[in-house]
Chain A
Amino acid sequence: MSNMSETAGVARKASFLSRYAIWLVPAIIVAIMPPVLDSNVAMAVLNQMGIAVIFTVAYNMMLGQGGMLSFGFAVYFGLGGYFAIHGVNIISEGGWPIPLPFVPFLGGLAGLAFGALFGSFSTNRAGTVFAMISLGLGEMMASSSLIFSKFSGGEEGITTDRTEVPPFFGVEFTTEQEIYYLIAGWVFFAVFLMYRFSRTPIGRIANAVRDNPERAEFLGYSQKWVRFMSFSVAGCFAGVAGALFALNYEIVTEETVGALTSGVVLLQAYIGGIGFFAGPIVGAVIFTLLQTLMSNYTEIWALYVGVVFVGTVMYAPAGLTGLIMMHIPVYRVGRMGKLTVPYARIALPALICALGAIGFLELWQHISAGATGESEIHVFFMTLDYTSPIPWIVFIAMFLGGLWDARRVAPAVADTYGNALHYAFTGEDQ
């Protein structure tokens, strides 16, 4: 008997560990990052990434889980930021005993309140009507942030000093590392709550309304109410992300509520994959890395991000996470090895094609924006003379040759994947 209960206890422990490993492993990695990296620049990038993760997962509560495509989601992010920054200033001036880690609750409440307010009329319909209303609201709030300058600080925005807030167990949040741990804590808390929401009845019914609102209505659910709830909760978490943005940068401007911020969150969600809970996390991480690392090397990084976005939508509509997930069944039956050679066969020409395109675009950019009298540029660790036709010819040849070869081998690679997938489901080769 005691053996049985011991076995059951061990099994319970194992299942507990496997269930929470997905949270525990990233938590350990995140916790040891500051001493491992030991760099303020890396901390700044990670802080930006953490904020982007909460914002994008919140966005996907609407888009991926609720089927609502918003072009103005920065409204709730920005308002969360404004309210948080005012909160910090009020706490500092009034000497209120509220430490900094609690300020994101204020941003969350602001996001929730405005999400509920705007959601009350914008969630009657999904589709084009919803998208257009979100665009209009986004523009309205962006211009309002310039008009109501007493609240928003106009073009200069509102600033604060987070160190004026009472310390939290002696921590004053003066360093990048300290604010990193605050953001990281909130990332785990917020992402856990959003994941939990996706497993609740309202979370599952949000999926049903996304798939078929009419059918959901005939099962007793008001599609409007389901969308309204998802929208408000998403607004709440966007407000939390906005508040963390305010605490991190100590400034909120009209850009924070603007169309660019709304566009970026949409790109992040799509690149990562809107069909998976982890998709927006992947998207936010990749996008932040692209943005921060590439901007050190090229001025046209935004163009490359745009190309990655278009490429994702065209060739991998399920996003980068979708690309990974489509290989899980093949991996389970041990057939990934069969895909290695065909994948390498297409990766090589695709890489040559990409390098050719990048080289060409860099040359072109230097013609348009290069300093007068300067004919040398640095591309791929080489110094090239863009007045000479040779680099142009080489890059164009690489682009066209790589493209031609990649397209030529693509059908065979797709067939190999199809075979592997068929085997994974049936246990037989096609």
Chain B
Amino acid sequence: MSAAIELRDVRKNFGPTEIIRGVNLSIADGERHAVIGPNGAGKSTLFNLITGKYSLSGGEISLRDEVVSGLAPFQINRKGLSRSFQVTNIFPRMSVYENIRCGVLWSLGYKYSFWHIVDNLKDVNERTAEILEEIGLQARAQIPAGVLTYAEQRALEIGITIAGGANVILLDEPTAGMSHSETDQAIALIRKVTEGRTLVMVEHDMGVVFGLADKISVLVYGEIIASGTPEEIKGNAAVKEAYLGEEAE
């Protein structure tokens, strides 16, 4: 199985401080991979490096054997990688429907078209309706996204992320701030919408991590100290000491 994402000796400095210190990581196509670690370990920074928000201080990142480090976020997205954010990042003044449609338009080839009328694009509107149904927001389609409840906004965030049909999905703490029942719904949603795609996620909730991930990498102070199946990680002494403690028991 070829690697969907490969990080080779990835480094990131902010001034004299080295936040990411030589990360090597290979995530296989179709794998559900969780990156865990204590606060300040550099998990979100790693996401920002993979998606082009930050430039690398060293190393190289490939997406399906194509080097993407140095490219802008929109160029990386066009190569089939999409992400969500730790803090909800939607288009608050636009309707829920428009939010999803923005994600759909590029992937169906309309790009920057100044000729087509969006309301008349059957394929775009059908795909948008499908995604709305998948994320359970069809009844809320016409209201401004900014007035949705928190859990609905998180679902919309996931909807926007998958709308473009990217094969590699990065979710940054998708269940943060949710209640137990909301978290269960979010896990089911993530499982459904990422079926057949590569999923990389940063998550603090160990229930979510062990319930969803095929593989887990543990990031501590900018270094991956362990990588393996959930059982391997549970049994890893270094991980227990550095991060999980009794939580993984």
Chain A interface (Cβ within 8 Å of chain B)? 196-197, 199-205, 207-208, 211-212, 214-223, 225-226, 229, 233
Contact = CB atoms under 8 A, between A and B. Distances in A.
Top 5 A-B pairs ranked by shortest CB distance? A220-B106, A211-B91, A201-B110, A220-B77, A217-B73
Contact of B116 (A201, A212, A217): A201
B164 A220 contact: yes
A219 B72 CA distance: 12
Given A205-B112, A220-B164, A199 B118 contact: yes
Interface of B: 51, 53, 72-74, 77-78, 82-83, 85, 89-94, 98, 101-103, 105-107, 110-119, 160, 163-164
A215 B114 contact: no
Contacts of A229: 112, 114
A237 to B, nearest CB: 13
Given A204-B98, A204-B101, A218 B119 contact: no
B105 A203 contact: no
Question: Which secondary structure characterizes the binding site on chain A?
Answer: helix
B91 A215 contact: yes
Contacts of A205: 102, 105, 112
Given A217-B73, A219-B102, A204 B118 contact: yes
A207 B102 CA distance: 10
Contacts of A218: 51, 73-74, 77, 82-83
B188 to A, nearest CB: 24
19 contacts: A196-B117, A199-B119, A200-B113, A201-B116, A201-B118, A204-B101, A205-B102, A207-B98, A208-B94, A211-B92, A215-B89, A215-B91, A218-B82, A219-B82, A219-B102, A219-B160, A219-B163, A221-B112, A229-B112
Nearest to A211: B91
- Of B82, B90, B102, B105, most buried by chain A (CB within 10 Å of CB) is B102
Contacts of B90: 212, 215
A232 to B, nearest CB: 11
A211 B90 CA distance: 9
Given A205-B105, A223-B74, 8 more contacts: A201-B105, A201-B116, A201-B118, A203-B118, A205-B102, A215-B89, A219-B103, A222-B72
